[in-house]
Amino acid sequence: MFPVSLEELIPEDHLVRVIDLYVAKLDLGQLGFENAQPKATGRPAYDPADQLYLCGYGYGYGYFQRIRSWRRLEAECQRNIEVMWLINRLKPDFKTIADFRKNNKVAFVTTCRAFVQFCRSVGLIAGDLVAIDGSKFQAVASSRRHLNLNQLKRQEETLDKRIAQYLADLDAADKAEGEQVVDRTAIKAALAKLEAKQQDNRSCQALMKSMGLEQFNTHESDARMMRTPKGARVAYNVQTAVDAGHGLILHHEVTQDGDDRKQLEPIAKAAKAELGQDTLTVTADMGYSNGQQFQACEEASITVYVPPNRTSNPGGETLFERQDFSYDAEEDRYQCAAGQWLTLKQRYKGDRIYQAAVSDCAGCALKAQCTTAQRRYVSRHAQEEAFERMAQRMQLHPEMMERRRSIVEPPFGNLKQWLFGNGRFLLRQLEGTKAEMALAVTAYNLKRALSVLGARKMMQLMG
């Protein structure tokens, strides 16, 4: 007799109902969303809650349909009954959705944190063990638009040579006037082009030096050229801290660093602050090995499990390694396998180098196993003790690397495969990529929470 209502078409435990309930609980004004309070005058703006529903839906549903494009979301508003139910049959156009995204970049990040806090409050995040890892996500920028100081210098040298060649051609043409026909106008035009290019090159170099930049992309100044499995790409390095309990991402950061060497301390400290704990146990791969940061983490009551990455003996396996020398802390010296002492030679920024006496090494029966030089040197890192404690911890818990892999790799696999498709951002600049990653991480965490608790339980906890 009566047409079926939208309400009847949406199952009780559907994802959109969870999103609806969760967003309704948020204080959007406090999270930093624009237009959270309607203006007294003028045409009422779209309710940010409705648009947040839409974003949440787009990304949450993106796990199945891969909808990240705002134009596709606009289309979904017109034909998809789940979206119609979620945003009360509103039909925001592409520009409205894009503006909402543009104007609320910071708010997406705070919303992501709010969901982490919710997960923590309902026991989905235990905080016993956290695994840290990083992955490169391509920026919306072409590598052809990427400038690098070294490349510019090489280009400047090439241009210098070509300009010199054209000038020499012009001289030769002057001398040979009357003997042969040379198109001087064409040479002058080519020269003018090269000189303009040279001028551009020098201005670029001067500007980059004044800004302290080694590299710069004219399409996206915040992105950096990074090594990825597909080769060098203009990208961002996304860091995540994943809780071992249910694999939820409790903290993430979009960074401009090409590698992970300086990321351990900031990410571990941020994860600890997010959890509100006095202590934390963290594991990461060898790329995070950094003596200074090992020390800093220890001082912040963070127990770290990272395989220490030390420079190996350049002589290869046949030569004694550093651990074959025993350190005498009292006298600050090393003893070698032949029982001779290596004394302090020099210090540099806290690092120390010790050397054996030439006379000791000259007559040593073990010399062939020790050094190919006149005497043997051994270096000691400024944070050597922190490296040694780390090596001991790793020896006692070799299973940590296996655990790290199983905790931290699935989230990146999911984010890249399902949400980012080709592992590429849609938004530009650091602020835009942070907002996009925050939406993706919220969607990932929502999915994880739903698969652990189920929609009904989630709604019960939210309600």
Judged by the rule CB under 6 A, the positions of this chain that interact with ligand SF4 are 336-338, 340, 356, 360-361, 364, 366-367, 370-371, 376
Shortest distance in whole angstroms from residue 374 CB to ligand SF4 = 10
Shortest distance in whole angstroms from residue 348 CB to ligand SF4 = 21
Smallest CA-to-CA distance from 86 within 22, 35, 31 is with 22
Two structure tokens written together for 177: 């006037």
Shortest distance in whole angstroms from residue 321 CB to ligand SF4 = 12
Gyration radius from the chain CA atoms: 30
Nearer to ligand SF4, 238 or 336 (CB): 336
Strand partners, 305: 283
10 Å CB burial of residue 14 (0-12, 13-18, 19+) is middle
Shortest distance in whole angstroms from residue 365 CB to ligand SF4 = 8
Shortest distance in whole angstroms from residue 333 CB to ligand SF4 = 12
Shortest distance in whole angstroms from residue 357 CB to ligand SF4 = 8
Two structure tokens written together for 371: 């050094």
Nearer to ligand SF4, 250 or 378 (CB): 378
Nearer to ligand SF4, 216 or 334 (CB): 334
Nearer to ligand SF4, 171 or 328 (CB): 328
Q: Are 195 and 170 in contact (CB under 8 A)?
A: no
Q: Are 238 and 140 in contact (CB under 8 A)?
A: no
Smallest CA-to-CA distance from 371 within 310, 312, 314, 311 is with 314
Nearer to ligand SF4, 292 or 369 (CB): 369
C-alpha to C-alpha distances, 363 to 41, 355, 372, 374, 416, nearest whole angstrom: 94, 16, 13, 11, 60
Q: Are 302 and 269 in contact (CB under 8 A)?
A: yes
Shortest distance in whole angstroms from residue 356 CB to ligand SF4 = 4
C-alpha to C-alpha distances, 257 to 134, 222, 241, 273, 385, nearest whole angstrom: 10, 11, 17, 22, 27
Nearer to ligand SF4, 203 or 343 (CB): 343
d(CA 332, CA 343): 8
Nearer to ligand SF4, 367 or 404 (CB): 367
